[in-house]
Amino acid sequence: QYGAAEYLLAKMATELPLDAAFAGGFGLLLHWRIGLRLPRTTLVGTLSLAAATCAALGLAIGALAPSADLALAAGIPVMIVHMVLGILNPAGTAETKPPSAAVSLASHASPIKWSIRALCCAELRGMELERRSLKEAPRMGGLALVRSGDEVLERLGLSGSSCRQCCGRLGRLLAAELALAYVGLRLQRPKYTSMAQAGAEEERERGGVDGA
């Protein structure tokens, strides 16, 4: 038998680094093929941290759910909500109407939100757009005739954000999810049965079959 702490540490040592490594490899390939402006280490680190946070979210859901089937059923809607609330406004403008308290709380718990904002800040901060590209720029919409990456961040409502700040939010979210997983494991303790009791039940079942 093992306790909740041992189980959680084992999962952290095996699953989180593996998920982070896959995301980091994807970041290396992405930076090489696309030629992004942000440093390679920033892209790889942000994607790895986001993957570890999503894996910790899965651990928390699995620990709090009373069964594996319920955990699988709850995990998909949770990730869909995080994806919907985590993306930036497709119109390219900041939200004018503040969201409700429930929506704001759910969006702050989304690892996708903070990873997207971290990458946008790292890529667009200080970027100067080429003058020739302004001829093909859209004349309408939130990103019409922007001249720098800072203007893009301002119109997206990210002028006061930074990559370091968003990654810090991801780190705190990772710690909160691991703590929630530990609490769930403590509450949902596995029930063990002794070998003698299991053997007696097996003998009774076998005797019933033979008698029939």
pLDDT digits (tens, 9 = 90+) for 70-127: 888 888 899 899 888 888 775 555 666 777 888 888 888 999 999 999 999 999 888 8
The torsion angles phi and psi of 148, rounded to 5 degrees, stand at -155, 165
Residue 62 pLDDT > 80: yes
Entry pTM: 0.77
Residues 29, 35, 36: CA angle, nearest 5 degrees: 100
Q: Helix, strand, or coil here: 182?
A: helix
Distance CA 142, CA 94 (A): 9
